[in-house]
Structure 1
Amino acid sequence: MFSNKSYSPSKDMSYKARDNSADVHDGYTEQQQQQYLKHLRQLKNEFEQRWRSKPTFSITFDELDRVRTLGTGAFGRVVLLRHTKSGKFYAEKILEKEKIVKLKQVDHTLFEKRILEAIRFPFTVSMEFSFKDNSYIYFVMPFVSGGEMFTHLRKMVKFEEPLAKFYASQVILALEYLHFCNIVYRDLKPENILIDKTGYLKITDFGFSKILQGRTWTLCGTPEYLAPELILSKGYGFSVDWWSFGVLLYEMNAGYPPFYANEPMKTYEKIVAGKYRCPSSFNPDLRDLVRNTLQVDITKRFGVMKDGVMDFKNHKWFRGIEWDAIVNCRYPAPFIPKYKSPGDATNFERYEEETLQPASYCRFESEFVDF
């Protein structure tokens, strides 16, 4: 299995691919994929074991000191923590019980906690610890010091093609893992992708994720990234994540999303119609990949058809990508974020700090009894 502690798995924890005579630069063979599927089955078994078990923690809440805020959202904020005994840094997601209940997000929050506790993959965050008090719940995860992909994308305007290809390959592998574990993610976007000090990425924020058997009908996600079948309330499955990947692929290479309007309803109309225009900078292979991923007809969308992720792994645009080297984090990263020390948070914006004041009694105890 992969370690959730580092982007550079140790030799005994990394994916061990057999030597293949096929040139990995020209795609991924069926034999390679069958071997990798054995590894995914092992990871899924480990996911299911963790899902069924209750985690135990080696530290207490009092051992964690808050350093500064890393981000804010609808339900609370994310802060940088330092463990007083080890000096290790963590990111803590603080969610206010009252807001969760008012917005009817209790089930989503409990699912997020359980999923974060159970997943282990190089390109997703995982839960280290969780706590609750009278007013708040706390998710403690590894600190990913490179900041959000969104921040770097805005600074660079758009990614150079080798960097976009590097990131895209990791997102494909992450979605392949999540879907293999029957998890639909439903909120893929640059704001939910973090870049580590090594240059590799981690998908974060599993607030809209769900264990999926069959189809679901919940409308959730970010307007510019919603799939047509989700907007039309047709009932959907893992196909929505591959559509969102197509939007991400376009935005990384263009610097802006393919579907955008001043009003959400107009954005939805463009998405349902599948109307977008590729910039002149897109080469034919990239245009073809975007066209087949931003495909309104689900039966023709990459990632959903009978060959699954092999449609991506063997596409011409990914020529030169060594998929086994990517999954083992041994492929050279084209971009390394600036990084000075383990607790360096300069890749995150500054926010006004707030003091948390938990209530003197336990609020919403019944709603979070299973937390």
Structure 2
Amino acid sequence: MMKYSLPKAACLLYGHKVHHLDHLAVLSILLRVPLIVTEENVEALARLCYPGIHVILSDYAHVALDTVKTYEVIFTCLPRDLFDDIFFLSEQLQQKTLHTIWCPHGNSDKGKNSFFMEALQKEKFALVYGKKMIDFFKEKNVFSQLESYVEIGNYRYDFYQKEKNFYQGLVQKQIKDKLVSGRKTILYAPTWKDRENSSSFFDACSDLIEKLPSSYNLLIKLHPNLVLQEKERTCSIIEKYEGRQNVLFLQDFSPIYPLLDMTDIYLGDMSSIGYDFLTFSRPMYFLNQNERNAQTDAGLYLYQCGVSILPKNYQNIYEIIEKSLPRDGNFYRIRKRIYEETFCSAKPLDSVKDEITLMYQSISVQSSLM
């Protein structure tokens, strides 16, 4: 019987997309393949936050040609169209086509009411978290063209559990030592101003900080795109409040699960971090920036798992939290159900690795038979 060797593979994080790092870095370590990056700050963050990672920093002038020459399979969060914009010329020069395996960078309800997932219509291979993402692919007509996919479940949480000692030390140094001990922690994770205009940051942040009770610490996990998009406004808010001892802005901390594990209350709008927080089944509050109907709008599916707050009530957030906390148990069952929809049944990390390896080995077999 003919044996086929594994194609040479790598993970690729192109550009400033730091929000892709937690997904690709863990995958890189799991598969024991390098992570190629093009920004020095991304390289530094990867080395700081992901033990054992092999990072390759490549400049923009050479990354496409070097990658085409060296690798056959690339794991990326970029849709194939965007990938081709970067690599097409180098592929033509080398007379070689790179195979891509799409990796999700979170499970979000974004795209329900806009063209977002449709960008994946050219994918042939994909990683998905579970049933919910598969159903979303089918709804958006981007599933049937897939030649193969692997359900990876909550692999980032499993990786965090495996490396928990490392991350506890990192969180202590990077976060806890900068906060007041003995207080409950609220994590505010607003999304960026995307085409759905979902971000609550500029309308809610000042009230959240100004009216923060002394019994809480407030962590503000900024979406990297928000800083790039509205740098002056964002930096102005950070400069105004960064000296407060119970408020901490997080811009250079990419691991999500160590952060969520220390969080008592989640506060968000449309960020995919909300789905990750289901892992812990703790209180959740959603800033309904566009005043959509949380009862009927499929694009607010996660809002079933907590309390929806309209913009007119942002100034009363803490009163709403205190009044509703005793009833948080009412959400346990729905959180469990949606978590199970989102992430497939738990698999050992080695099993996830083996399934992904089999998929990209099949690419090598197909290529050799052409």
What TM-score range do you get, normalising by the shorter chain? under 0.3
Higher relative contact order (CA 8 A, sep 6+): 1
TM-score (norm 2): 0.27
TM-score (norm 1): 0.27
Normalized per residue, which structure has more helix? Answer: 2
